[in-house]
Structure 1
Amino acid sequence: MAKNTFKQPERVAKQKKQRRKLQLATWLNDFIGLDRLFGEDNAWPIRHIDRILWVTALLILYIGLNHNAERLVRRIQRTKIQVDELRSQFTVLQADYNRSGKQSELNKRVAALGLTGSQTPPHKIVVKSDEH
């Protein structure tokens, strides 16, 4: 029994085969001479040069992305170290600022100018509600 298939005209089938005839491979073969490199009888690399170049491009892209990711990881680590140093510096400066505002520290600084603090405690002023 015969198999039902779609029959293409003969010239269309030949055009498709000719068009698919590895334009890149023929150009590279003419330009570089790949048949001399691989040998006249070994046409496999020449036939599949487009796939080989595609895989090579993907590998180069993969390697480039890995280098970029490693560079970003190193930059993040360096930034974390800088942030930790700045945070510790901020903590030290904040502690010094808070300590410098205390009355005992102020008395030490104004003593060099010849000023002294009062020896008596401050007086509390009490105003009665009927006096105002």
Structure 2
Amino acid sequence: MAKNTFREPERIAQQAQQKKQRRKLKLASWLNDFIGLDRLFGEDNSWPIRHIDRILWVTFLLIIYIGLNHNAERLVRRIQRMTVQVDELRSRETVLQADFDKSGKQSEISKRVASLGLSDSQTPPHKIVVKTHEH
């Protein structure tokens, strides 16, 4: 049977470091094989190859940043266009409301019906009074 013993903290840290290093090296070696980064940067300069994951992450963030900037500018232009349209519609509504209010006046109505041969009565209206006990 196996004997229970305490693990050494140094050994655990070394194992974690080795796993992390293997993972980084796997990505770096794959990119190096696929693209040939060692030919681009030289055999003795391995800094870009070792830090390729950080470089790709920063590149991804920059692309997202540029995309969001373009989106914001497009939205600002759309808001400006809509503001102009709203102002035009508001002014048109004000003019139509003023024309409607003016057309409902008695003087305007009498001008329109004069062509039909109708005119305002010259005598004032009569008030009809009905007593309650008469009907």
Shorter-chain TM band: 0.7 to 0.9
- SS of equivalent to 1:112: helix
Asked if 1:67 corresponds to 2:70, the answer is yes
What CA RMSD, in Å, does the superposition of the two structures yield over aligned residues?
2.2
Residue 58 of structure 2 aligns with which residue? 55
Quick one: distance in 1 between partners of 2:91 and 2:17? 77
> In the TM superposition, what is the alpha-carbon distance from 1:130 to its structure 2 partner?
3.0
TM-score, length basis structure 1: 0.84
Q: Which runs of 5+ in 2 are unaligned?
A: 1-7
How many residues are treated as equivalent by the alignment? Answer: 127
Evaluate the alpha carbon distance shift between residue 116 and residue 21 of structure 1 in structure 2; reply closer, same or farther with a 3 A threshold: closer
Residue 120 of structure 2 aligns with which residue? 117
Quick one: distance in 2 between partners of 1:79 and 1:41? 59
Aligned runs of 1:71-82 on 2, under 5 Å? 71-82=74-85
For 1:103, which of 87, 102, 106 is the aligned residue? 106
> In the TM superposition, what is the alpha-carbon distance from 1:119 to its structure 2 partner?
1.5
> In the TM superposition, what is the alpha-carbon distance from 1:90 to its structure 2 partner?
0.5
Evaluate the alpha carbon distance shift between residue 125 and residue 111 of structure 1 in structure 2; reply closer, same or farther with a 3 A threshold: same
TM-score, length basis structure 2: 0.83
Name the one with the larger helix percent: 2
- SS of equivalent to 1:92: helix
- The sequence identity of aligned pairs, in percent, is 78
> In the TM superposition, what is the alpha-carbon distance from 1:19 to its structure 2 partner?
2.5
Evaluate the alpha carbon distance shift between residue 96 and residue 14 of structure 1 in structure 2; reply closer, same or farther with a 3 A threshold: closer
